[in-house]
Every structure is written in C-alpha cells, then in structure tokens.
Amino acid sequence: MNGYGGSILRVNLSTGTITREPTSLELARDFIGGRGFGIYFLTKEVPVHADPLGPENKLIISNGPLSGMLAPGGGKCDWTCKSPLTGGYADASMGGHFTAEMKYAGLDSIILEGQSSKPVYLFIENAKAELRDASSLWGKGAIDTEVELKQMHGEPYQVAAIGPGGENQVLYACINHDYGRQAGRGGVGAVMGSKKLKAIVLHGTNSVPVADPEAYRKAGMALYKACKAADNLADWTRYGTTIVVSWCDEVGALPTRNFSAGSFEGGKTLYGPVMREQIVITDKGCFGCPCPCGKYSNMKRYGTRVEGPEYETIGMLGSDVGLSDIQDVAQANLLCDDLGIDSISAGGCISWAMEAYEKGVLTKEDTDGLDLRFGNVEAVFTAIKKIAAREGKLGALLSEGSKRAAIKVGKGTQDYAIQIKGMEQSAYAIHNATAMLISYMTCDVGAHHNRAWAITYDLQVGRDKVVPEKVARVIWLQHFRPMFDVLGGCRLQWVELGIDRDLYVPLLEAITGIKRTWEDLEKTGERIWNLTRLYWMREIDGFGRSWDQPSPRFYTEAPISGATAGQITRLEDVQKLLDMYYEQRGWDAEGHPTSSTLEKLDLLEFAI
C-alpha cells in the first residue's frame, strides 16, 4: 500500500496474543493516518464508558503517510486513548525516530489492548513481535530504561518507555523516547502503565513503496529546498521554541505564578539566547527535520543533561512556579522526563498548589512539610518526585491533576486551577487574547495549544476584539494544524519557516497515489474534529457548554503587573465567543454537532 507500512499490529496484553491485519484502503482513504486512525479505532473499538485505566481502554499508536519519508518533519506519531486525566478524548503527538521505524517495520498502527498481569515490554522487529519480561526494568526511570534496552538490542532500535509516573498511573504520565521526546499530554503514559507495558522496542528494515517514485523524489527535494531557503531557518534553529520566551514575556503571554500574570520579573534569565549560551550543547532533531527545534543541554550545576527545556516547560516549570534560573528549570524538566510525567501538567499542578499554599489553604501538613512557595527550587524538585511516586499527601493530591485536587481541597481553589476539561493549560496566558482563549476553550483534548495558536493573530486584529473573524481563524487552524498529526508529520516547517503549504500537495499525492488538495485535507480535519467532539459526548453524561469554560482567573482577576496589568476578558465576551464558535461549527447552543452538520460531514453513522 503506497506510502503506508501496510499493516496494523494488535497486541492483547491480557492474553499475550499478537496479530497483524492489513491496513484497510477505506480507512487510509477516509482517515489518512495518525490521529485520524486514532479516533476511528477509539470510537469503533473501545466500549462506551470504559475505565480509562482498565483493560477495555486501548492505546493506539499511529503514524501517517509522511512518516519516515523524504518529507521535512516526517517524524511524528500520534498516541490516542481515552484519557484518564479528562475522561474524554486524548491524543499526544511524539517526535523523534519511533514513527519512521514503525513504518520500516511495516506498521501504520499499533493497538495495545487488555492488561498484562506482570511487567512486559513489546519487542518488534519487522514481522516479528513478542512480549518479553520487563520485571527488571519496572521501577526504573524512562531514560535508564532506554539506555538498558538499547544496550541489550542495539543503538538502531527505537525505544519508547514509561517511567515510574506511568507505572504508578499518575493521571498525566507521559511516554518518553529518544532521551527527551514525549507523547506528553492526557495521561497516555498512565494508560500504558495500567497495561503493565514498560516499553516498546522497535526495529524495521523494510522500504516504503510509493505511488510515483520520480514525482515523490522531486516533491520531497522541493520541500527540503524551500525549508533550507527560508530566511529565518538559522534563527529558528538556533533557539527552537525558546525563541518566543522573551516575546511572551513582553506581550503578557508568559504564565507567571499560576497564571496570575503574563510577564515575569525574573523572566530575562529564561530567555532563549541566555539558554543557548549557558547550557545548550547540540541541536537535536526529529526524523527528517531540517529545522530542529530540539536543544540538548548540559546543566553543569547538576552534572546532568536533558533534551530541552523547550518553551512550554520553561513557562510551566519556570515562570509559572516562579523559577528564574534556566539550569533549575532544565533540571526540573529532566526529573519529569525520567520519572515520566508531563512537564506541562506537572507545572500546572505544582503552581496551583503553590498558590493555595501561599494563600494558607494548603499548609505544611498537606505538603508533607514542604515549604511550597513560588520560586522554591527544592520544593519544585521534591514535588515532582512525590507526584511521580504518588508519595505522601502532596503526591497523592497532585498526581490526580489540578481539577480533581481543587475539587478535593475546595475553599475556592477551583477558581485558580488553570485547566479546561481537566487538562492543565499549556504555557500561554490569555487574560487578554480572545482568539487564543477560544482556542483553549474548544481544544479537543483540554487546554492545549497545538490545535490552534493565535496570539500573534490576536495582536494583529486587536487583542480584546470579540469578532467572528477570530473564531473563524481558530476553526480553520483547528482543521489545518492537526492535519500534520494526521499525516504523521510536523507542522513547524509551515508554521515557523513559513514555507508554502501547497508544496505538500504533490508530495502527498506522489506518496499515496491519492490526490488531495488542502481543501480536501481540511474537510477531513473537520470530520475528525466533529468525531472527537462526539467522543466526549459519548463518554461524559451532560457534556456540553459547561465543559468549554476557561479558568475563571481569565475573566475575574486582571494581572496586577506586567504587560497585561489591569486587562481582562469579560465573562459575557467569553460566552459570546462560544456562541459564535458553535454557530460557525454548526453545533447547537450546548456545543453538540447538529444532525444536519453530521449529515453534511457524512458522519451520521457516528451520531450519539
């Protein structure tokens, strides 16, 4: 099957049965790959109201037609499951070299189902696949696990592993790969841990067939040429995502002390150039990427190395918890990676607890004696370790995510749990950025930025404006950007280098033999967007408008300092944005797709 590995690997952890089935042509045609395959299998195969950490939930790993090919950024795969953190749809995109290796092993998806009674790892080498004992690896950090498995099998074997956080089913546990790439959000690592699957080891040596070899080579080379000709390639590569730290600080988007402000007085020492100069030792790219955003760093003070920190981690484990030293932030990043918890959610939970502690709602009795003030480095490190181990009162509380923790603690702390749908908000403060606000509110995994990011657009249009154009822009981005997660590629070549997205059209056609314009792709994006919405409705009774609300902080408490001091979005504008959004999407006032919308999108068979 041109552009595809050609088969789906199904691994039942309960019975140890492993089967391979051919990837269906219809599936490839209608859902393309990646998160398209993910939502399809999740909807079709996981029973309604399945326990996310029970044997019925499935973890679906999918690549796409760009993965492993001569295509800039063809190094992303998508991990889909029912989220233990939110109870709804989750997918996490992971870079590195795993996705390409999957395709060379002939795989388009790996579906993990059931639950093993003892720790195992999945070993895949081309047509061979087996579960092997992982008792000796259980309890080890994700990085040590990768080192050991590579020593055992060889450097070219790709490894994805969970750390203790995943084993202990911390609700936002992640999966680690290539010493610093993660499937981070939504608790995919907890699902893997619940299946007692410590790691996947993967090696493939097959060539990938394409529909039109000559056109493929030409289109692939043209894309690389465009990336290399981009006049911002050098700047982007030098700093990666940290290029925005100083700018976010300047415009009030840098989350500071649990999002109470958008500028951080200690921010300057977290800026990209400072980091590059002080700790970065090499650029570290995902498969096939001409503009590597990954930076590998050496923290001399700690005698450690880490991939990162990238922007989100600098925001969430830097300014948002009040840390201003890049080496401290990088060390906190390393702890999260190795222990296997999402650094965004970890930062969100710790900063929530810090605010509650400073307000006197949490005391040392609740924090196991920890002086949980903003800016206390040791407290951040200790909290991360406690969360991953679910240790003590603090670990038990924070390992469940900030939404559950705030419900448990009460006393007004829910008002400053910065989350939507139960997922901690990623690192953009939105006190006065209405397009970004509606983007977060409607993102289909919870408060995550990767579906639509619109802060620059907010500044261009007028940040407090509440106009249909902003909503339309966000909807367009929600179809277009995640399309890269469907194609098994990375959006940053288009997003940051600004290369012409039409260059992908001939490439995709030459690889798969199926002609698709961006209009067609966006249509598929819209179908997937409506399917993930239906999944939330299916899993959560009463799911609707109330689940799309932002943290009250952004409409009740204007920052007292920084670029957005005194600025806030009014609650009526928040609701107005949502009304516009539902209307433009063809959803009713509760945010449910109407039957005519489903009919238009040919999704009636999935209607709830």
Partner 1 sequence: MVNGEQEYYPYPLFITHSFFSTMPVILRPVGHLKSYLKDQAELVVPAGRSIRETLRAAGIPPEVVALVVVNDVHQTDKEMVLQDGDVVRIMAVIGGG
Partner 2 sequence: MRLYADSAKCSGCNACRVACSLNLFGETNPKKAALIIEPHFPEPGVYEVKVCTQCGECAQVCPVECIKQDDRGVYYVVQEDCIMCEACVPVCPEGVMFMDASLVPDTAWECDLCGDCVEVCGTSALRIAEKETA
**Rule CB under 8 A: is residue 335 a binding residue for partner 2?**
no
Residue 100 binding partner 2, by CB under 8 A? yes
Among 57, 246, 333, 376, binds partner 1 (CB under 8 A): 246
Dist. CA 165–CA 193, nearest whole Å: 8
Residue 152 neighbours by CB under 8 Å, 6+ apart: none
DSSP 340-395: TB-HHHHHHHHHHHHHHHHTTSS-TTTTTT----TT-HHHHHHHHHHHHHT-HHHH
Q: How far is the CB of 583 from partner 1 (least distance, A)?
A: 26
Which residues, listed in sequence order, are joined to residue 177 by a DSSP beta bridge?
160, 181
Residue 287 as a binder of partner 2 (CB under 8 A): the answer is yes
Q: Any bridge partners for residue 282, and if so which?
A: 296
Using CB under 8 A as the binding rule, whether residue 459 contacts partner 1 is answered as yes
From 453, 529, 535, 547, residue interacting with partner 1 (rule: CB under 8 A):
453
Residues 40-69 binding partner 2 (CB under 8 A) are 68-69
- Cα separations (Å) of 286 from 71, 313, 379? 12, 18, 33
Q: Count CB-CB contacts under 10 A for residue 560.
A: 9
Interface mask (CB under 8 A) for partner 2, residues 240-279, using x and -?
----------------------------------------
CA–CA separation, 336 and 479 (whole Å): 31
The DSSP result for 481-497, as a single string, is TTHHHHHTS-SHHHHTT
- Residue 247 as a binder of partner 1 (CB under 8 A): the answer is yes
Using rule CB under 8 A, residue 228 touches partner 2: yes
Residue 208: which of partner 1, partner 2, none does it interact with, CB under 5 to 8 A by kind?
Answer: partner 2
Task: Choose, by CB under 8 A, the member of 135, 282, 460, 556 that binds partner 1.
Answer: 460
Question: Is residue 158 at the binding interface for partner 1, with CB under 8 A as the rule?
Answer: no
Q: Which of 72, 106, 255, 309 binds partner 2 (CB under 8 A)?
A: 72
Count how many Cα atoms sit within 13 Å of the Cα of residue 166 in the half-sphere of its side chain: 36
Among 20, 132, 153, 225, interactor with partner 2 by CB under 8 A:
225
Q: Is 268 in the site for partner 1 (CB under 8 A)?
A: yes
Stretch that binds partner 2, among 96-104, 266-274, 390-398, 399-407 (CB under 8 A): 96-104
15 binds, among partner 2, partner 1, none (CB under 5 to 8 A by kind): none
Cα(428)–Cα(311) distance, integer angstroms: 10
Query: Per-residue DSSP letters for 214-228?
Result: HHHHHHHHHHHHHHH
Q: What residues numbered 135-164 form the site for partner 2, per CB under 8 A?
A: 143, 147, 155-156
Nearer to partner 1, 310 or 539 (CB): 310
Look at residue 591 and give its three-state secondary structure: coil
456 binds, among partner 2, partner 1, none (CB under 5 to 8 A by kind): partner 1
- Judge contact between 575 and 274, C-beta under 8 A: no
Distance CA 483, CA 66 (A): 11
Nearer to partner 2, 20 or 305 (CB): 305
Per CB under 8 A, 489 contacts partner 2: no
Q: Is 286 in the site for partner 2 (CB under 8 A)?
A: yes
How many Å is the Cα radius of gyration of the chain? 22
Angle subtended by helix axes 34-45 and 518-539, to nearest 10:
30
How distant, in Å, are the alpha carbons of 13, 101, 436 from that of 173? 19, 24, 26
DSSP 8-state code for residue 175: E
Residue type, 87: G
- For residues 476 to 495, the per-residue mask of contacts with partner 1, x marking binding by CB under 8 A and - elsewhere, is -----x---------xx-xx
Specify the stretch interacting with partner 1 by CB under 8 A; choose among 90-98, 169-177, 231-239, 295-303.
231-239
Check binding of 266 to partner 1 (CB under 8 A). no
Nearest CA-CA partner of 140 in 153, 152, 149, 129: 149
CA proximity to 496, closest of 290, 288, 219, 274 = 290
Q: Can residue 282 be called a binding residue for partner 2 (CB under 8 A)?
A: yes
Residue 82 belongs to what H/E stretch?
strand 77-82
User: Which stretch, 107-115, 128-136, 211-219, 234-242, contacts partner 1 (CB under 8 A)?
Assistant: 234-242
The reply on whether position 333 binds partner 1 by CB under 8 A is no
Task: State which of residues 116, 176, 237, 319 lies at the interface with partner 2 (CB under 8 A).
Answer: 237
Assess 290 for contact with partner 2 (CB under 8 A): yes
Q: Choose among 295, 260, 259: nearest CA to 278.
A: 295
Instruction: Report the residue number, 330 or 420, with the smaller CB distance to partner 2.
Output: 330
- State both tokens at 493: 């070549």
Of the pair 70, 601, the CB lying nearest partner 2 is at 70
84: its two tokens: 């233990």
Of 409, 403, 397, nearest to 547 by C-alpha is 403
Q: 412: how many CB neighbours lie within 10 A of its CB? A: 12
Question: Closer CB to partner 2, residue 225 or residue 501?
Answer: 225
Interaction site with partner 1 (CB under 8 A): 230-232, 235-236, 239, 241, 243-244, 246-247, 250-251, 268, 271-273, 310-312, 428, 449-450, 453-457, 459-460, 481, 491-492, 494-498
Interaction site with partner 2 (CB under 8 A): 68-70, 72, 75, 97, 100, 104, 143, 147, 155-156, 178-179, 205-208, 210, 213, 217, 221, 224-225, 227-228, 233, 237, 281-292, 294, 296, 298, 305
